[in-house]
Amino acid sequence: MNKNDLHFPQFRRMTGREVWYKIHSLTAFDELLLIGSRLVKYTITAEQYPEKLRILDMLSCQEPFKEITAIDYSEIEKQLNV
């Protein structure tokens, strides 16, 4: 993965869990998390090294992260307004 070739936003999902990500940059992302029947959105700014590594893992689609489309993400995000 060449950091200079990255285009944002990028979208990921965690396999085995109901968690979706919209990655804005190498240091910021949104997380949609299904808790019971409630969908919650968190905005995270990575300041510490482990948080930054997590974003790199997401971008490189390291297990348990897999790439999804912007449409997939927006379909889930629409549930926030229901």
Residue 43 located in a structural domain: yes
Per residue in 17-32, pLDDT (tens digit) is: 999 999 999 999 999 9
Selection from 68, 63, 67 nearest residue 16 by Cα: 63
Q: Note whether 8 and 23 are within 8 A (CB).
A: yes
Strands 28-35 and 19-25: antiparallel
Tens-digit pLDDT string for the chain (82 aa)? 666 678 999 999 999 999 999 999 999 999 999 999 999 999 999 999 999 999 999 999 999 999 999 999 999 999 987 6
CA distance 24 to 1: 16
Long-range contacts of residues 27-34, Cβ cutoff 8 Å, at least 24 apart: 27/52, 27/55, 29/55, 29/58, 32/73, 32/76, 32/77, 32/80
Question: Could you list the residue range(s) of the whole structural domain that residue 39 is in?
Answer: 3-62
Residue 81 located in a structural domain: no
Residue 21 located in a structural domain: yes
Report the number of distinct structural domains present in the chain: 1
